[in-house]
Amino acid sequence: MSKNTKNKSSVISVSDDSTEEKLLSRAGVIKKFITNNSNYNNEIAFLIDMKIMSGKNRFFVYDLKNNKIIDQGLVAHGFGSETPIQGQLKFSNINQSLCTSLGKYYIGNSYTGNFGKAYKLYGLDETNNNAFIRNIVLHKYDKVPYEEQDKPICKSFGCPMINADFYKRIEKLIDNSKGKIILEIYY
């Protein structure tokens, strides 16, 4: 994987080698998961590394065929995931927890909600199988900054919430996908 792959408007890089190793490992898990299952997109996946501070790019669009990051952006985590220790998060699959849930999801149909067009998320693991009943969705929010920064960004009610400009690029990928795209949130 190249650490300096050109994108439409920016240079894409991973913050350090351990982040890159985790990304490669998670991509491998997704490849195994989607093998022999034509319901899923086998070209791209969305990977979110919650170990990375929210002010830094931690939502990665990953090219499964060429093993490289093709886009990235900021993503919020849930209010309930905050702990008293700076940089440490907790996760929950419990309704009303306002926490982010770890695990693999598939991106379902879109609908129009409080934040405009959003995509329903369906948890595929025990750690996130309540996503649908918790109303955990992929959506945009105008308070999520576009550029990286040195401080944490706003928080969500547990949803992966991204910047509107980044969302436009993600939306095109989802809407044009012939199979369900896997989104994995890991720590």
Mean pLDDT of 131-159: 97
Give pairs for 10-14: CB < 8 Å, separation 24+.
12/69, 12/70, 12/71, 12/72, 14/60, 14/69
99 backbone φψ class: left, alpha, beta (φ>0; ψ -120 to 50): beta
pLDDT tens for residues 81-106? 999 998 899 999 999 999 999 999 99
Residue 12 has pLDDT above 70, yes or no: no
Binning pLDDT at 50, 70 and 90, where does residue 160 land?
very high
Give the pLDDT confidence of 56-90 residue by residue, as tens digits.
999 999 999 999 999 999 999 999 999 999 889 99
Mean of the per-residue pLDDT values for the chain? 92
